[in-house]
C-alpha cells in the first residue's frame, strides 16, 4: 500500500501546474472546479501549501457576482473541445477579467473542502489563518446560488447544464434529451482522440450539450433568462447535497474562527441550511423508489432513476435515520451484489446501465469517497468498510483511472480502468482514504 500511496503522490505532483492542478494530461488540460477542491484534500496530507494554492487559484477566478466557473482556461490549447472561444464567458458582464472560463459551474465542494483541510492539518492555527483569508469568497459563492439559482425561493438551487451536475452523461439526462431536438452541430471532438469513444458520450449527446450553451450565450449567461429559457433546468440531489454539506462546514468554520463580525453570515447560512434541508427532504425524496432523485424544473416532474447521486444525501447528513436505513438497503440490493464493486454510478439493474460509459454505470472514486463518509456518519460501518476496500481494490487492480468497470469479472486482467489515466482526484481521495 505504501508504494501505491507514493504513486498517488507522484500523480498529484505531475498534474500540478505551478498554481493549480489539471485533472489529467491531454483529456483535461485546465482547472476544473470540483476536481480542484477534491485534489486539495489529497495535497493536504503531504503538501499543505499546494492544497492552499489550489483553492486560492480557484477562488481567484471567481466572478464579481460570486459565481465560480466549472473550467478555468489557464492555458491556450487546441486539444480540448469546447474551449474558451466556444464558451465565451466574457459575454457575462460580471465575469472575470483575469481568466477565461466557462459560463457554467459545478458542485460547490469548496466549503467542505476547507473543513477537510482543517481536519487533516498538522498545524491547525496556520490552516485556520488560511481559511480565514478565503472563507468570505466561499460564502459569496453560496450567496450567488441562493440569490440567482433558486427562482421560486425554495431553498434548492438549479443547474442548467448536465456538465454542471458533474455526472455528465448520466442516463437520467436521457429523459431531458427526449424533450429537445437540437440542430446537428459541426465540430471536432477532442476527447475521443485521447480516450476510446465507447467510454465517452455520443455525438448526439454533445449536440444537446452545445445547444444548451448556445441558448445561455444568446442571453449573455444571464441567470434569470436561463431560468426562463433553458430546456435543461434541474434540481440535482448530488449538487444540492454538496451545497448543504458546504453550508454546514462554513457555519462550523465561522464558529471556530469565532469573530463576532461573522454572526450575520452564520445566521444567514443557518437559514439556507434549515430551509434547504426541509425542501430537499420534501421535494427530492421519492417514496416509491425509497431514494432521492432529480427534479426536472422545466417539465415539473421527478426523474425517477436511481444513481449514485441518489445516495449522496448521506454525506450531507440529510436523511432521517429511518430513510437512511431504507436507502442503504436499496443500495445493497441493487448495487451491492457480490459480483459488483461498490458503487456503480447508475442502477445496475436498469436497461440504461452501461458499465464502461463514463457516468452511465462505472464506479467513480469521488462518489465512493462521499458515500464512505456518509455511511460511516450514519453508523453503517460494515458497508462503509466495503466501500473503502472496493475503492482501494479497483485502484490496486488497474491504477489511478478516472472511472472503473463495476463488474468484478472485468478486473481480472487489470484493464478495467477507463477514461483518463493518472487522474488527480482518484489519487487524492485514495490518499485520504488510506490516512
Site string for ligand DGY, 53-82 (x = CB under 6 A): -----------------x------------
Q: Binding of ligand DGY at residue 168 (CB under 6 A)?
A: yes
- Residue 132 vs 168, nearer CB to ligand DGY: 168
Distance between CA 221 and CA 38 in Å, rounded? 27
Phi and psi, residue 157, nearest 5°: -105, 155
Placement of cell 499546494 in the chain: 50
Grid cell for residue 336: 451491492
Q: Which of 296, 402, 405, 432 is catalytic?
A: 402
Site string for ligand DGY, 173-212 (x = CB under 6 A): ------------------x---------------------
- Residue 30 vs 145, nearer CB to ligand DGY: 30
Least Å from the CB of residue 27 to ligand DGY: 8
Q: Is the peptide bond before 343 cis (omega within 30 degrees of 0)?
A: yes
Q: Is the distance from CB of 343 to CB of 335 less than 8 angstroms?
A: yes
- Whether residue 393 lies in the annotated active site: no
Distance between CA 369 and CA 315 in Å, rounded? 9
Distance between CA 328 and CA 335 in Å, rounded? 10
- Residues in region 310-369 near ligand DGY by CB under 6 A: none
Q: Is the distance from CB of 11 to CB of 400 less than 8 angstroms?
A: yes
CB-neighbour burial class of residue 185 (10 A; exposed 0-12, middle 13-18, buried 19+): middle
Q: Is 32 in a helix, a strand, or coil?
A: strand
Least Å from the CB of residue 276 to ligand DGY: 25
Q: Is the distance from CB of 139 to CB of 265 less than 8 angstroms?
A: yes
How big is the CA angle at 112 (ends 1 and 13), to the nearest 5 degrees?
40
Q: For ligand DGY, which residue has the nearest CB?
A: 163
Least Å from the CB of residue 168 to ligand DGY: 5
- Residue 161 vs 323, nearer CB to ligand DGY: 161
- Residue 237 vs 419, nearer CB to ligand DGY: 419
Least Å from the CB of residue 70 to ligand DGY: 6
- Residues in region 146-165 near ligand DGY by CB under 6 A: 163
Q: Which of 168, 207, 252, 410 is catalytic?
A: 168
Number of residues near ligand DGY (by CB under 6 A): 4
Q: Is the distance from CB of 333 to CB of 342 less than 8 angstroms?
A: no
- DSSP, res 198: G
- Residue 31 vs 262, nearer CB to ligand DGY: 31
- Residue 78 vs 300, nearer CB to ligand DGY: 78
Phi and psi, residue 259, nearest 5°: -95, 125
Count of alpha carbons within 13 angstroms of residue 384, beta-carbon side: 14
- Residue 29 vs 276, nearer CB to ligand DGY: 29
CB-neighbour burial class of residue 392 (10 A; exposed 0-12, middle 13-18, buried 19+): middle
- Whether residue 168 lies in the annotated active site: yes
H or E element that contains 121: none
Q: What are the residues binding ligand DGY (CB under 6 A)? A: 70, 163, 168, 191
Catalytic residues: 168, 402
Amino acid at each position: 500500500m505504501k508504494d501505491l500511496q507514493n504513486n498517488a503522490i507522484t500523480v498529484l505532483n505531475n498534474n500540478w501546474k505551478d498554481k493549480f492542478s489539471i485533472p489529467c494530461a491531454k483529456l483535461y488540460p485546465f482547472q476544473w472546479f470540483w476536481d480542484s477542491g477534491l485534489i486539495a484534500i489529497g495535497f493536504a496530507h503531504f503538501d499543505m501549501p499546494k492544497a492552499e494554492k489550489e483553492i486560492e487559484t480557484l477562488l481567484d477566478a471567481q466572478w464579481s457576482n460570486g459565481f465560480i466557473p466549472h473550467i478555468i482556461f489557464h492555458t491556450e490549447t487546441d486539444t480540448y473541445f469546447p474551449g474558451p472561444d466556444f464558451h465565451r464567458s466574457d459575454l457575462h458582464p460580471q465575469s472575470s477579467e483575469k481568466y477565461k472560463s466557462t459560463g457554467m459551474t459545478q458542485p460547490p465542494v469548496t466549503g467542505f473542502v476547507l473543513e477537510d483541510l482543517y481536519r487533516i492539518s498538522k498545524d491547525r492555527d496556520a490552516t485556520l489563518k488560511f481559511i480565514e483569508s478565503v472563507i468570505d469568497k466561499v460564502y459569496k459563492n453560496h450567496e450567488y446560488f441562493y440569490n440567482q439559482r433558486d427562482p421560486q425561493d425554495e431553498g434548492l438551487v438549479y443547474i442548467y447544464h448536465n456538465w454542471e451536475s458533474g455526472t455528465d452523461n448520466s442516463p437520467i439526462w436521457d429523459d431531458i434529451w427526449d424533450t429537445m431536438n437540437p440542430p446537428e452541430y459541426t465540430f471536432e471532438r477532442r476527447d475521443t482522440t485521447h480516450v476510446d469513444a465507447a467510454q465517452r458520450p455520443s455525438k448526439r449527446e454533445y449536440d444537446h450539450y452545445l445547444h444548451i450553451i448556445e441558448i445561455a450565450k444568446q442571453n449573455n449567461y444571464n441567470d434569470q433568462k436561463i431560468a426562463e429559457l433553458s430546456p435543461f433546468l434541474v434540481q440535482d440531489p448530488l449538487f444540492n447535497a454538496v451545497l448543504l454539506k458546504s453550508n454546514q462546514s462554513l457555519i462550523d468554520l465561522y464558529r471556530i474562527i469565532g469573530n463576532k463580525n461573522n454572526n450575520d453570515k452564520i445566521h444567514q447560512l443557518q437559514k439556507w441550511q434549515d430551509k434547504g434541508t426541509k425542501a430537499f427532504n420534501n421535494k427530492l425524496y421519492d417514496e416509491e423508489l425509497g431514494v432521492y432523485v432529480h427534479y426536472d424544473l422545466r417539465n415539473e416532474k421527478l426523474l425517477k432513476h436511481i444513481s449514485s447521486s441518489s445516495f449522496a444525501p448521506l454525506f450531507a447528513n440529510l436523511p432521517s435515520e429511518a430513510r437512511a436505513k431504507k436507502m442503504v438497503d436499496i443500495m445493497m440490493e441493487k448495487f451491492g451484489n457480490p459480483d459488483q464493486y461498490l458503487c456503480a454510478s447508475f442502477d445496475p439493474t436498469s436497461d440504461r446501465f452501461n458499465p464502461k460509459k463514463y457516468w452511465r454505470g462505472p464506479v467513480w472514486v469521488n462518489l465512493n469517497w462521499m458515500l464512505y463518509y456518509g455511511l460511516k456518519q450514519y453508523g453503517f460501518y460494515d458497508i462503509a468498510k466495503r466501500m473503502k476496500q472496493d475503492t482501494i481494490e479497483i485502484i490496486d487492480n488497474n491504477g489511478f483511472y478516472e472511472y472503473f468497470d463495476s463488474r468484478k469479472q472485468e478486473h481480472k486482467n487489470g484493464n478495467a480502468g477507463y477514461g483518463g489515466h493518472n487522474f488527480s482526484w482518484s489519487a487524492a481521495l485514495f490518499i485520504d482514504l488510506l490516512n
